Amino acid sequence: MLAWGQLRCIGATTLEEHRKYIEKDAAFERRFQQVYVAEPSVPNTISILQGLKEKYEGHHGVRIQDCALVIAAQLSSRYITDVIFLTKQLIWFMEIVQMWELQLDSQPDKIDKHERKRMQLEVELHALEKENDKASKAQLVEVWRELDDLRDKLQPLKMKYRKEKERVDEIRRLKQKRDKLILALQEAERRYDLAIAANLIYGEIQEVESTLAQIEGTADENIMLTETVGPEHIADVVNCWTGIPVTRIGQNEKERLIGLAERLHQRVVGQNQAVDAVAEAVLRSRAALGRPQQPTGSFLFLGPAGVGKTELSKSLAEQLFDDENLPIRTDMSEHMEQHSVARLIGAQLGYIGHKKGGQLTEAARRRPYSVVLFDEVEKAHLSVFNTLLQVLDDGRLTDGQGRTVDFRNTVIIMKSNLGAEHLLSGLSGKCAMQVVRDRVMQEVRRHFRPELLSRLDEIVFFDPLIT
């Protein structure tokens, strides 16, 4: 039927499924003209979402701002990298409107928090009434006072909530009525029933829209309920999906980077050159002066133990990602054998443990915005350095299951104690500091391959601390 043109068919499949099932049958493959559909860009995705917006608004009874669609496309492109772009946008769209629809039918968090506190006080009050000692009676008076204050706070909040709930319900009812009238108008236009169409356009629809605009215009500034989904609600969903703090998502990039060196100096004392070198490298990367496919920063920290290498890593994680506990720490002394690479990226399919995933790749997939810290990197096997070359050069790494893990938004820090004895000798004043650093670099070049060192943004020296 396909060969004789008796059946017209449009099929959709993935490249992998096409190679697996269709390419095997050459005769069947010739019956179709292949059309490759690429993943849509951010502007194209925004246009697609704008076309779907009205359908979701009508079904769920919410209103989605256009700026929220733009923020959703931009944030998902930046923060969520392991899902096809359009797929995750549609999932986001559904999750956002469903979450907001549920919130419209639930009590606000502020009232719910007070209600739970009230129930807790009432249970405590019931228990204290059974006691006769002085301490319990004094506590009983305090609980009564706190309970009365809480009830005084709850009463106006509940009244305001009921009023706003009635307003939101009326808005949703009017929107549903308007949508039904629009459908009736379209049906009348298809039948060329101009009388009914005119009555709908200049009568019922105009009246509903006028009433709707009047109700929406009476909203207070500090409203507890709203049927509008804005950019801040998109940020809440990003936070739920990625764990990235909402304050970081909403904060301007320039504001966060201004004064980075000064804030690092406040926490890391006595390592001025090291702090300045790290801050300048991060600023260069954020200013798009480096290659966009590389990590945000890649550093080799050199110095003896206890001089602040780990502390600077934590401080950088706090300033860039709002959490000093974000560093993904890997002890390279555990990767001295060639087979230990499988622990970082996961075992290949067919080998024992291939379902577990790699320590490094799994952590980076869950936290794409983090500091990756390799401790005692000089002890790692040569094959581990080959793996790091791909991360430093392309900002990505393929795990044992064939998935590509994005490292472009990470900061790579490698710690080493190579040449620590030379740095300590410089502290005694026997050699000039520049001579000491030259000796350290000679030892570093003997140990690390040139292609690894050339891919680093900065080799940072930490001076021994003077007691």
Range of the domain at 199: 109-224
pLDDT of residue 249: 53
Query: Tokens for 270?
Result: 């006595």
In degrees to the nearest 10, what's the CA dihedral of 208, 210, 213, 216? -60
The Cα 317–Cα 303 span in angstroms is 20
Residues 201 and 133 in one domain: yes
The Cα 406–Cα 366 span in angstroms is 10
> Which among 249, 251, 252 is positioned nearest to 240, based on CA atoms?
249
Query: Contact at 8 Å (CB) between 387 and 397?
Result: yes
Work out the number of other CB atoms within 10 angstroms of the CB of residue 410.
Answer: 25
pLDDT of residue 289: 60
pLDDT of residue 81: 61
The Cα 171–Cα 57 span in angstroms is 12
The tens-digit pLDDT sequence of the chain (467 residues) is 777 778 888 888 888 888 888 888 888 888 888 888 877 777 887 888 888 887 777 777 777 888 888 877 777 776 666 555 556 666 766 777 777 677 777 777 788 888 888 898 888 888 888 888 888 888 888 888 888 888 888 888 888 888 888 888 888 888 888 888 888 888 888 888 888 888 888 888 888 888 888 877 776 666 777 777 777 777 777 777 666 655 555 555 566 677 788 888 888 888 888 888 888 888 887 766 666 678 888 899 988 888 888 888 888 888 877 776 767 888 888 888 887 788 888 776 666 666 677 788 888 887 777 888 998 888 888 888 888 888 888 888 888 777 888 888 888 999 888 877 777 766 555 567 778 788 888 888 888 888 888 888 888 888 877 65
Query: Tokens for 426?
Result: 């410089």
For residue 243, give Cα distances in angstroms to 259, 368, 370, 417, 449. 25, 10, 11, 33, 36
The Cα 364–Cα 384 span in angstroms is 17
The Cα 86–Cα 94 span in angstroms is 12
At which residue do the structure tokens 């320039």 appear? 254
Residues 265 and 206 in one domain: no
Residues 412 and 354 in one domain: yes
What are phi and psi for residue 63, nearest 5 degrees?
A: -125, 130
The Cα 458–Cα 460 span in angstroms is 6
**Which positions ≥6 away from 235 have C-beta within 8 Å?**
71, 75, 246, 249, 250
Beta-ladder partners of 298: 412
Residues 440 and 346 in one domain: yes
Q: Return left, alpha or beta for 14; rule: phi > 0 is left, psi -120 to 50 is alpha, else beta.
A: beta
455 within some domain: yes
1 within some domain: no
> Which among 430, 456, 461, 203 is positioned nearest to 308, based on CA atoms?
461
pLDDT of residue 62: 75
Residues 209 and 284 in one domain: no
Residues 308 and 398 in one domain: yes
Beta-ladder partners of 374: 330, 414
The Cα 284–Cα 457 span in angstroms is 10
Residues 198 and 260 in one domain: no
Residues 274 and 197 in one domain: no
The Cα 177–Cα 58 span in angstroms is 10
- Examine the fold and report which residue of 208, 224, 240 is the final residue of a domain before the chain moves on: 224
Q: Look up the pTM and report it.
A: 0.63
pLDDT of residue 466: 67
End-to-end CA distance of the chain: 88
442 within some domain: yes
Query: Contact at 8 Å (CB) between 46 and 85?
Result: no
Query: What are the E-state strand segments in 242-370?
Result: 297-302, 328-331
The CATH number covering residue 342 comes to 3.40.50.300
81 within some domain: no
Contacts of range 163-167, beta carbons closer than 8 Å, 24 or more positions apart: 164/223, 164/224, 164/225, 165/225, 167/215, 167/218, 167/219, 167/225
At which residue do the structure tokens 């076309």 appear? 51
113 within some domain: yes
At which residue do the structure tokens 């979450």 appear? 99
> Which among 436, 424, 435 is positioned nearest to 465, based on CA atoms?
424
101 within some domain: no
Residues 322 and 408 in one domain: yes
Residues 201 and 273 in one domain: no
- Examine the fold and report which residue of 224, 242, 267 is the final residue of a domain before the chain moves on: 224
Domain count, the chain: 2
Work out the number of other CB atoms within 10 angstroms of the CB of residue 220.
Answer: 10
Work out the number of other CB atoms within 10 angstroms of the CB of residue 223.
Answer: 13
44 within some domain: no
- Examine the fold and report which residue of 167, 189, 224 is the final residue of a domain before the chain moves on: 224
Residues 189 and 259 in one domain: no
200 within some domain: yes
pLDDT of residue 341: 80
**The residue count for the chain:** 467
Residues 206 and 332 in one domain: no
CB neighbour burial string for 60-72, b if at least 16 within 10 angstroms, e if fewer: bbbbbeeebbbbb
pLDDT of residue 284: 80
For residue 230, give Cα distances in angstroms to 29, 71, 85. 47, 9, 21
pLDDT of residue 262: 85
Contacts of range 96-102, beta carbons closer than 8 Å, 24 or more positions apart: 96/64, 96/72, 96/229, 96/233, 96/234, 96/237, 97/56, 97/57, 97/59, 97/60, 97/62, 97/64, 97/229, 98/60, 99/237, 100/60, 100/62, 100/227, 100/229, 100/233, 101/60, 101/61, 101/62
